[in-house]
């Protein structure tokens, strides 16, 4: 495309396929302890474990 | 739902429901803002073309852009419908994986903005006995289900005031790892006053992350973070922080995580200077939080301060665009491999996957809820755990918060701080507007920086 560059993929819905494993860090715990934000957290689902305990 | 914005002279579009983010040129952004989905017509609407031609845009170029926008829409990257609500309906109580241990309800500083009432949370000064800390570790293990990575944060008050309990609790938890198939990740937050060589060595050996409190420039820090006798603490803590970070970076690179974390109030709305001051001191992983306060306090952030704060975030973004060696916590965004949608729906997951334990063993949904008696969820001594409260907190997801449902930034934010929602709006289900405005701005800045 000439006028538009996609810088993040449309991956939100697909992320549920292997999501919910819960191995990631609690977001508030990481560095802020006051204002919550989740977008800057990392996924720790290295092994693509199947969804459980959603 | 889409959101377009400009930052550092560049144009962006967030397609909220798909997670796609696009950078556009000015004509493309201008056209997009005038279109109404769905883009069924093969040709760009004549009235839009006419309006933009009058504004000096080129007709042929606009037609070309329209074709590109239609391609994005047809490939599920623009004007996508919301298919994430179905996941919210499936959320249910999850195992506990993260615990904040308030090992000291006492503090050796008297920070003016302290949410913990100068360390004692309004309930009297108290240190956590080792037996209680061990009971908390046992409670975490017992409620962690199949979670392998468990997190234990030493918090306060000031946790270094109860140092022996920190050391002994780490040893106790480590001793339980093999038999339980768990991996503990320890973190600690400190004001730095009691740091010495021994504590620095232990923290760098055992703590996966350390949060070091510093508000930035000396006069800003000393004004808000005095000792009990009224003296500033900047000169006491900065050299210790520099030593800790230098030694941490020399050790195992895997143990190099740390944050130098500040708080800004309406007394330093030029807080970008404080962030850059931290960088000048040699620190590279930085965080600067808006103070969570009653508006009546003279240094509390108010709605009237918003224009100044938003402009300051812009100034900080421009500075950080030239300082890519600095990680600013709220501008970090993994556009390719961030958290799954289920985590984004849950948000902080306090009182569900995360809880806080007070020195006497009481359990609260998180450290910010401590002292709100209605929100006491149990005790590590009796094993009591309020499953009804947990269920209520599980329901506090994005789609049960009407203002969040309509927000373009909801999947980056996660629904705000539940404790702040309760404190300032009286319910889990209504976020605080000032925090929302700041979060939206920070997401814009983060996207712009990620695109650089």
> What does B305-348 look like in DSSP terms, one character per residue?
GHHHHHHHHHHHHHHHHT-TT-EEGGG---SSS---HHHHHHTT
pLDDT class for A15, splitting at 50, 70, 90? confident
* Cα(B355)–Cα(B357) distance, integer angstroms: 7
Compare all CA atoms of chain B with the CA of A18 and give the residue at the minimum distance: B340
Contacts of A47 in chain B (CB under 8 A): none
Q: Give the gap in angstroms from C-alpha A46 to the nearest C-alpha of chain B.
A: 11
* Cα(B381)–Cα(B358) distance, integer angstroms: 11
Per the CB < 8 Å rule, is A39 touching B443? Answer: yes
Cα angle value B74/B77/B83 (rounded, 5°): 95
Per the CB < 8 Å rule, is A37 touching B28? Answer: no
Compare all CA atoms of chain B with the CA of A9 and give the residue at the minimum distance: B20
pLDDT class for A54, splitting at 50, 70, 90? very low
pLDDT class for A50, splitting at 50, 70, 90? very low
From the list A10, A22, A37, which residue is nearest B414 (CB)?
A: A37
From the list A3, A5, A40, which residue is nearest B333 (CB)?
A: A40
Per the CB < 8 Å rule, is A15 touching B347? Answer: no
Q: Give the gap in angstroms from C-alpha A17 to the nearest C-alpha of chain B.
A: 9
Give residue A43's pLDDT.
81
Give residue B30's pLDDT.
98
Per the CB < 8 Å rule, is B92 touching A54? Answer: yes
Q: Which residue has the higher pLDDT, B32 or A20?
A: B32
Per the CB < 8 Å rule, is A7 touching B22? Answer: yes
Q: Does A44 touch chain B (CB under 8 A)?
A: yes
Mean pLDDT of A13-31: 79
* Cα(B391)–Cα(A49) distance, integer angstroms: 25
Residues 6+ apart with CB under 8 A from B382: none
Q: Does A33 touch chain B (CB under 8 A)?
A: yes
Per the CB < 8 Å rule, is B98 touching A24? Answer: no
> Which site among B291, B338, B445, B452 would you substitute to test the A interface, given the most A Cβ atoms closer than 10 Å to its Cβ?
B338
Give residue A53's pLDDT.
41
* Cα(B389)–Cα(B372) distance, integer angstroms: 13
Give residue B251's pLDDT.
79
pLDDT class for A46, splitting at 50, 70, 90? low
Contacts of A45 in chain B (CB under 8 A): 340
Q: Is B184 exposed, middle or buried (0-12, 13-18, 19+ CB in 10 A)?
A: buried
Give residue B40's pLDDT.
94
The residue written with tokens 């849950």 in the block is: B346
Q: Give the gap in angstroms from C-alpha B236 to the nearest C-alpha of chain A.
A: 22
* Cα(B295)–Cα(B279) distance, integer angstroms: 30
From the list A4, A11, A34, which residue is nearest B19 (CB)?
A: A11
Q: Which residue has the higher pLDDT, B385 or A54?
A: B385
Give residue A41's pLDDT.
80
Give residue B102's pLDDT.
96
Size of interface A-B (CB pairs under 8 A): 227
Give residue B255's pLDDT.
59
Q: Give the gap in angstroms from C-alpha B293 to the nearest C-alpha of chain A.
A: 11
> Which site among A2, A19, A40, A45 would you substitute to test the B interface, given the most B Cβ atoms closer than 10 Å to its Cβ?
A40
From the list B64, B97, B348, which residue is nearest A28 (CB)?
A: B348
| CA pseudo-torsion sign B77, B82, B86, B88 | positive
Tell me the average confidence (pLDDT) per consecutive run of 10 residues in chain B, 452 residues long.
Answer: 98 96 98 97 96 97 98 97 91 94 95 80 89 98 95 95 98 98 96 98 95 98 95 97 94 78 96 98 94 84 95 98 93 84 91 96 95 95 97 96 96 92 94 94 96 92
Cα Rg, chain B, nearest whole Å: 24
Contact B396, B428 (CB under 8 A): yes
Q: What digits encode the pLDDT tens for the residues B315-345?
A: 999 999 999 999 999 999 888 778 889 999 9
Q: Does A7 touch chain B (CB under 8 A)?
A: yes
* Cα(B361)–Cα(B10) distance, integer angstroms: 51
Contacts of B189 in chain A (CB under 8 A): 33
Beta bridge pairs of residue B35? none
Per the CB < 8 Å rule, is A16 touching B335? Answer: no
Give residue B200's pLDDT.
98
Alpha helix stretches (DSSP H) within B357-417: 387-394, 402-405, 410-413
pLDDT class for A31, splitting at 50, 70, 90? low
Contact B102, B359 (CB under 8 A): yes
Q: Is B1 exposed, middle or buried (0-12, 13-18, 19+ CB in 10 A)?
A: middle
């Amino acid at each position: 495309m000439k006028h538009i560059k996609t810088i993040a993929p449309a991956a939100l819905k697909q992320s549920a396929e292997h999501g919910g494993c819960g191995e990631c860090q609690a977001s508030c715990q990481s560095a802020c302890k006051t204002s919550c934000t989740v977008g800057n957290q990392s996924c720790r689902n290295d092994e693509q474990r199947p969804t459980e305990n959603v | 739902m889409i959101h377009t914005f400009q930052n550092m002279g560049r144009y962006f579009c967030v397609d909220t429901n798909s997670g796609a983010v696009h950078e556009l040129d000015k004509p493309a952004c201008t056209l997009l803002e005038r279109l109404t989905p769905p883009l069924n017509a093969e040709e760009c609407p004549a009235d839009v073309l006419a309006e933009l031609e009058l504004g000096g845009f080129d007709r042929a170029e606009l037609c070309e852009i329209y074709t590109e926008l239609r391609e994005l829409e047809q490939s599920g990257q623009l004007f996508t419908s919301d298919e994430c609500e179905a996941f919210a309906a499936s959320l249910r109580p999850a195992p506990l994986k993260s615990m904040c241990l308030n090992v000291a309800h006492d503090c050796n500083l008297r920070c003016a903005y302290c949410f913990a009432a100068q360390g004692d949370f309004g309930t009297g000064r108290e240190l956590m006995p080792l037996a209680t800390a061990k009971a908390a570790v046992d409670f975490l293990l017992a409620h962690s289900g199949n979670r392998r990575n468990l997190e234990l944060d030493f918090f306060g008050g000031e946790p270094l005031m109860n140092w022996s309990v920190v050391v002994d609790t780490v040893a106790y938890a480590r001793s339980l790892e093999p038999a339980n198939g768990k991996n503990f990740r320890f973190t600690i937050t400190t004001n730095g006053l009691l740091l010495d060589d021994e504590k620095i060595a232990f923290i760098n050996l055992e703590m996966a992350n350390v949060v070091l409190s510093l508000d930035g420039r000396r006069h800003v820090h000393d004004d808000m973070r005095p000792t009990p006798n009224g003296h500033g603490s900047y000169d006491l803590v900065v050299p210790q922080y520099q030593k800790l970070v230098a030694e941490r970076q020399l050790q195992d690179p895997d143990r190099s995580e740390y944050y130098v974390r500040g708080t800004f109030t309406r007394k330093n709305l030029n807080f970008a200077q404080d962030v850059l001051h931290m960088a000048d001191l040699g620190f590279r992983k930085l965080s600067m939080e808006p103070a969570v306060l009653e508006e009546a306090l003279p240094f509390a952030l108010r709605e009237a301060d918003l224009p100044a704060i938003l402009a300051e975030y812009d100034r900080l973004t421009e500075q950080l665009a030239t300082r890519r060696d600095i990680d600013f916590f709220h501008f970090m965004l993994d556009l390719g491999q961030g958290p799954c949608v289920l985590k984004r729906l849950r948000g902080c997951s306090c009182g569900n996957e995360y809880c806080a334990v007070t020195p006497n063993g009481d359990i609260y949904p998180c450290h910010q809820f401590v002292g709100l008696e209605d929100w006491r969820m149990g005790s590590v001594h009796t094993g009591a755990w309020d499953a009804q409260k947990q269920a209520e907190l599980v329901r506090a997801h994005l789609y049960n918060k009407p203002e969040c449902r309509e927000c373009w930034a909801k999947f980056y934010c996660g629904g705000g701080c539940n404790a702040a929602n309760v404190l300032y709006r009286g319910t889990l289900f209504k976020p605080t507007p000032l925090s929302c405005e700041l979060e939206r701005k920070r997401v814009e800045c983060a996207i712009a920086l990620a695109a650089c």
